[in-house]
Amino acid sequence: MNTTIFYTPIIRHIMPVISRMILFCLGWKVKSKLPDVPKCVMIAAPHTNNWDFFYTVLVAFVMKAQIYAMGKKSLTHGPFGIRMKWFGILPIDRSKSNNIVELTIQQFNSNDKLIIIVPPSGTRNKVAYWKTGFYYIACGAGVPIALGFIDYGKKTGGIGPLFYPTGDIEADMKEIRQFYADIKRKYPKKQII
């Protein structure tokens, strides 16, 4: 795994304070603390705009979380590509099947500590259903799912309870979606949960 901004020595010590100040000035609060587990798949939901990433990074710094996040491959190309990788973006080529689930499980198996954020919608656009890769990654790696959120209605960000998949995907997805039912998106018409 690449070294990210969250592992950079000086930055990782000053950014929690700066991030807390930025959130305070914007009227936002961090509602929870980092779960006491070394590894987890974190859902990034709801995901309806680019500001979600901005708030997620600030919340991660406040929580002192060292995260990686799955994002479309095009984010890591061009003039800002190196910076996006430094921010922990793991490029996903959505144009073809790359067995991302198996590759991610291998990353969990070869690291003692790892938090990977996965937007289950797979896009900022309106979707009819969530992709289930995050669920199969958590099952295959034997790690919990952290229910990360950015709530624009309450101006809060954080992590809800840890969810341990049972293998019954229909029942589990219903329970996970229920957690997100009252969380306000920036653009509510863009996504269905």
Question: Can you give the residue ranges of every domain in the chain?
Answer: 26-186
Give the span between the Cα atoms of 115 and 104, in whole angstroms: 11
The hierarchical CATH code for the domain 26-186 is 3.40.35
- Distance between CA atoms of residues 132 and 103, nearest Å: 15
Place of tokens 């901005």: 54
Taking only the tens of pLDDT, the chain with its 193 residues reads 567 888 888 988 999 999 999 999 999 999 888 889 999 999 887 666 778 888 888 999 999 988 888 777 777 777 777 777 777 777 776 566 668 888 888 889 988 999 998 887 544 455 455 778 889 999 999 999 999 998 999 999 999 999 999 999 999 999 998 998 888 777 555 555 4
Cα 84 from chain centre: 14
How many contiguous H segments (helices) and E segments (strands) does the chain have? Answer: 6, 7
Q: In this structure, what are the phi and psi dihedrals at residue 60, rounded to the nearest 5 degrees?
A: -60, -40
Per the confidence metrics, is the pTM higher than 0.85? no
Judge contact between 100 and 106, C-beta under 8 A. Answer: no
Tokens of 50: 């680019």
In whole angstroms, what is the distance from residue 151 CA to residue 46 CA?
Answer: 8
Write the CA distances from 136 to 38, 106, 130, 133, integer angstroms. 18, 13, 13, 5
Q: How far apart are CA 12 and CA 7, in angstroms?
A: 6
